[in-house]
Structure 1
Amino acid sequence: MPRPRPAGAAAAPALTAVLLGAVLLGAVPLSACQPVGRQAADGAAVAPKAGDEAAAQSTVTTDWGPLGPADRDVIVRVRQAALWEIAVARQAQRRAARPATRRALGAIARGHVRLDLLDRQVAARLNLPLPDRPTPDQQSWMSEITGKSGNDYDRTAVARMRMAQGLLYAELGAVRAGTRNTLVREFAQRAQPLVDDQMGRLEATGFVTGDVLPDPPEVTEPPPPAQPGGRAAPAPAATTVLSGGG
Structure 2
Amino acid sequence: MPRPRPAAAAAAPALAAALLLGACQPAGRQAADGAAVAPKANDAAAAQSTVTTDWGPLGPADRDVIVRVRQAALWEIPVARQAQRRAARPATRRSLAEVARAHARLDELDRAAAARLNVPLPDGPTPDQQSWMSEITGKSGNDYDRTAVARMRMAQGLLYADLGAVRAGTRNTLVRRFAQEAQPLLDRQMRQLETTGFVTGDVLPDPPEVAEPPPPAAPGRRGTPAPAATKVLSGGG
Using structure 2 for the length normalisation, give the TM-score.
Answer: 0.87
Cα shift at 1:36: 2.5
Aligned residue for 2:35?
34
Q: Deviations over 1:174-223 (max 9, x none)?
A: 00010000000000000000000000000000000000000001111111
Task: Kindly indicate whether residue 3 of structure 2 is the aligned counterpart of residue 2 of structure 1.
Answer: no
CA distance in 2, matches of 1:33, 1:236: 55
Aligned residue for 2:203?
212
Aligned residue for 2:42?
51
- Once the two structures are superposed, the pairs formed by residues 104-183 of structure 1 within 5 Å of their partners are 104-183=95-174
Deviates more, 1:212-221 or 1:48-57: 48-57
CA distance in 1, matches of 2:30, 2:36: 12
Cα shift at 1:134: 1.0
Matched pairs, number: 217
Aligned-residue Cα RMSD (Å) equals 1.8
What SS does the aligned partner of 2:171 have? coil
Letter of the 2:227 partner, please give it.
P
The 1:9/1:55 distance shift into structure 2, 3 A limit, reads closer
Cα shift at 1:234: 1.9
CA distance in 2, matches of 1:33, 1:61: 29
Conserved? CA contact 1:66–1:180, under 8 Å: yes
Conserved? CA contact 1:35–1:133, under 8 Å: no
Aligned residue for 2:85?
94
CA distance in 2, matches of 1:128, 1:2: 18
The 1:7/1:35 distance shift into structure 2, 3 A limit, reads farther
CA distance in 2, matches of 1:164, 1:58: 26
Task: Kindly indicate whether residue 184 of structure 2 is the aligned counterpart of residue 193 of structure 1.
Answer: yes
**Runs of 4+ displaced beyond 6 Å:** none
Q: Deviations over 1:38-63 (max 9, x none)?
A: xxxxxxxxxx5541001101111100
Residue segments in structure 2 that go unaligned for 5+ positions in a row: 1-19
CA distance in 2, matches of 1:202, 1:235: 34
Cα shift at 1:9: 9.4
